[in-house]
Structure 1
Amino acid sequence: MKKRSAIKTDLFADTHHRDKLDTLGDPLAEIEACIDFAALAAEVDRIAPRPVSVQGGRPPYPTETMVRILVLKRLYNLSDEQMEYQLLDRMSYKRFCGLSQATNIPDRTTVWTFENRIGEVGAQVIFDGVTTQLLKKGFIARGGQIIDATLVPAPKQSFSKEDKEQLKADAMPADWQPGKRRQKDLDATWTKKHGKSQHGYKLSVNVDKKHKFIRKIVTDTASTHDSQHFDAVIDPANTSRDVYADRGYPSEEREQWLKANGYRNRIQRKGKRNKPLSEAQQGRNHRIAKTRARVEHVFGAIEQMGGKLLRTIGQARANFAMTMMAACYNLKRLAYFQRVGITAF
């Protein structure tokens, strides 16, 4: 007797699979439901107009499609090559990007070209566009602001002694071919954290206490001290005057500035040589730490988005990637609020 196969075939199998995805809960569908990607695309086109195709050439993909692809890349920390493969392979990715019925899928070169077209300014426009939509939904900055920075690792570089000497003199090693030059990151810097050497870049953020959205960002190299970004990420729009930060930020000048501008100083104190913190100061630090720790949740969520390791060369591309990290974190955070039914008020 012939055995029946357990696998059934159906001309409408793709439709059944899509319905199943909706039943299980597609996280990309949740993001799509709470963000107007057409509005983000319009802002990108405003600062980086779509190129006009030469006669007979293939027209560029819609900007909205490409913005969605950039979001996918950052949400899952994919390379251009991996992005091309996943767009061909994953039903949810194709649906999110509006490519379910498309015969031609953007390849790695198309993704790379689009990123170069919009550049750092384009990434900032996407971040600002997401922020604008948060505000329209009522998610204004509330409860105080928390300022902190995180190191974003970049691939470590190997240089010979002769190379280092020439680079230190602002000269390019003569034996470096163009291909080798493109693979050398001369912008990333080294720093020490908790006694360990770290190589890469730095992302400074301002997070509101109430909703834990990233409100302002500054990108830089790893060796730049956290405190240098403090003034740039202060958010005057926060409804509370409390400003929280860790021991890397206090100074008499900063304390005076905060007081003069009507802010309440919630920056942790730092002990000095031969002058340790008093019991009262330690208690104050402990109370502040409970709130300040909320920013670590933000960095942890970014880490879960495929990790923070950059796949780029040079500061311009690193700035692009870090800005997209912040924008995509806010997207995921907003989708979470919508899923669990948290409102702005």
Structure 2
Amino acid sequence: MKQRNAIKNDLFAADHHRQKIDRLGDPLAEIEKHINFAALAAEVDRVAPRPVSPQGGRPPFPTETMVRILVLKRLYNLSDEQMEYQLLDRMSYQRFCGLGQAVNIPDRTTIWTFENRIGEAGGQALFDGVSAQLLKQGYIARGGQIIDATLVPAPKQHNSRAEKELLEQGATPVGWKPAKRRQKDQDATWTKKHGKSYFGYKLSVNVDNKYKLIRKFKTDTASTHDSQHFDNVFNTGNTSRDVYADRGYPSEAREAQLARDGFRNRIQRKGHANKPLSECQQQRNRRIAKVRARVEHVFAVIDQMGGKLVRTIGQARANFALTMMATCYNLKRLVFLRKAGIVAF
């Protein structure tokens, strides 16, 4: 009878494990290879300077370390508590954050405090910094732009009818203590899609057809119509003049504006009860759909990163979470493009 291999102990086991991780291919090492995190940290410090404590005390963790932690948190959809545990437990996380030999590891409070320190401005600086590095590597927007939006659920609120009426009037129920108010999201809204109700926020994106990278984005509440964000995410920097979007975006004014500015309208037509689409228009929609569907791949990857959802309360925190979502998608996409040999030209 064949015996199983006995467990071997070795003082250098940790080094052997690291070498095996490298041979298997650490996705975090691939991100680090192509992104300058020191430059990203410098941008964050520029828009959200590190506080200086006159009382001294233990120095804060480097901004670069904390930026790397935020990237891990979003890539793997972890809470602050889960992030603290994984930093203590996972060798690859420790190595990515430069904490392999560190005695003290950032805890959940440190992570939460850093997010609050940099806020929306810091999140936008990270997205812009990653975008700038993509452009330096040659990944400019090509092949036309695709505009679309996706719903991002938030924790549902269970309020009574009387409480809902007060909230709609902009008032806060008398019985809500400060602790309860902090757990109530008064910014997120309800909407319906395909007959199903959703509560939360909305992420509108502009993706280039060539590389499927998010070039611009806009965040809002779920009830805002997709078409209202068209101008916010429109990108004049694409090398192609083609503009793709689904049936939720067409309007006479928009079509006229695109024509005046020299863009090719690839927005799908929308039929009406008294005026259905002709066969020619339906064929046009099908042709457009083949290209427009590429933006759904973007949303699918975001979903694979842990789900299109936010655990936070309020618009400001949701904006930060969605900004990190878009930023980390671009990081993940860059690694894919590099490994697939899709080099910018």
Structure 2 distance, partners of 1:247, 1:46, is 41
Contact between 1:51 and 1:60, CA under 8 Å: does it hold in 2?
no
Q: Confirm or deny that 1:320 pairs with 2:320.
A: yes
Aligned to 1:272: 272
The whole-number CA distance in structure 1 between the counterparts of 2:287 and 2:77 is 35
- SS for the counterpart of 2:198 is strand
1:63-98 Cα deviation digits (max 9, x unpaired)? 000000000000011000000000000000000000
1:335 matched to 2:335? The reply is yes
Query: How much has 1:168 moved relative to structure 2?
Result: 2.2
Aligned residue in 2 for 1:148:
148
The SS at the match of 2:266 is strand
> 1: CA distance between counterparts of 2:175 and 2:5?
63
Q: TM-score, normalised by structure 2?
A: 0.98
Q: Deviations over 1:28-53 (max 9, x none)?
A: 11111110000000000001111113
* Structure 1 residues 90-116: Cα deviation after superposition (integer angstroms, max 9, x where no partner): 000000000000000000000000000
Shift of 1:120: 0.7
Partner Cα distance (2:217, 2:4) in 1: 60
Match of 2:188 in 1: 188
CA distance in 2, matches of 1:47, 1:81: 27
Aligned amino acid, residue 335 of structure 1: V
Partner of 1:297: 297
- Post-superposition Cα deviations, 1:97-151, rounded to whole Å, max 9, x if no partner, equal 0000000000000000000000011111100000000000000000100000000
User: Residue 238 of structure 1 aligns with which residue?
Assistant: 238
Contact 1:144–1:243, Cα closer than 8 Å, also in 2: yes
Preserved CA contact (<8 Å) 1:271 1:277: yes
Residue aligning to 2:105: 105
Give the paired residue count.
Answer: 343
SS at match of 1:317: helix
Asked if residue 37 in structure 1 is aligned to residue 37 in structure 2, the reply is yes
Partner in structure 1 of residue 162 of structure 2: 162
In structure 2, the partner of 1:248 is 248
Moved more, 3-12 or 94-103: 3-12
Partner of 2:12: 12
Q: Which deviates more, 218-227 or 10-19?
A: 10-19
Q: 2:203 matched to which residue of 1?
A: 203
Matched position secondary structure for 2:216 = strand
Q: 2:295 is paired with a residue of what secondary structure?
A: helix
SS in structure 1 of the partner of residue 284 of structure 2? helix
Q: Secondary structure, in 3 states, of the residue corresponding to 1:10? A: coil
Cα 1:54–1:11, aligned 2, differ >3 Å: closer, same or farther? farther
Q: CA RMSD in A?
A: 1.2
Tell me if the contact between 1:53 and 1:59 (Cα under 8 Å) persists in the aligned partners: no
> Cα deviation per residue 1:280-319 (whole Å; 9 max; x = unaligned)?
0000000000000000000000000011121100010001
Q: Counterpart of 1:119?
A: 119
Instruction: Give the partner amino acid of 1:172.
Output: T
CA distance in structure 2 between the aligned counterparts of 1:283 and 1:168, rounded to whole angstroms: 44
Q: Secondary structure of 1:117's partner?
A: helix
Letter in structure 2 aligned against 1:18? R
- Indicate if the aligned counterparts of 1:84 and 1:108 stay in contact, CA closer than 8 A: yes
Q: Deviation of residue 4 (structure 1)?
A: 11
Structure 2 CA distance for aligned equivalents of residues 341 and 297 of structure 1: 19
TM-score by length of structure 1 reads 0.98
For 1:57, the equivalent position in structure 2 comes to 57
Listed as ranges, the gaps of 5+ residues in structure 1 are: none
Are the counterparts in 2 of residues 146 and 207 from structure 1 also a CA contact under 8 Å?
yes
Q: How far 1:160 moved relative to its partner?
A: 1.4
CA-to-aligned-CA distance 1:142-171 (integer Å, 9 cap, x gap)? 010000000000010011122122222221
Contact 1:247 1:267 in 2 (8 A): yes
Which SS does the other structure have where 1:156 is aligned?
coil
Report SS of the residue matched to 2:119. Answer: helix
SS of 2:332's equivalent? helix
Q: SS of the counterpart of 2:308?
A: coil
Q: Which residue number in structure 2 is paired with residue 259 of structure 1?
A: 259
Q: Percent identity?
A: 77
Amino acid at match of 1:96: F
Distance 1:80 1:207 in 2: 30
Hey, what's the Cα distance between the residues in 1 that align with 2:54 and 2:75? 34
The answer to whether the Cα contact below 8 Å between 1:53 and 1:60 also exists between their aligned partners in 2 is no
Alpha-carbon separation, structure 2, partners of 1:286 and 1:165: 44
**Secondary structure, counterpart of 2:42 in structure 1:** helix
Deviation at 1:342, TM superposition (A): 1.6
Question: What letter is aligned with 1:168?
Answer: E
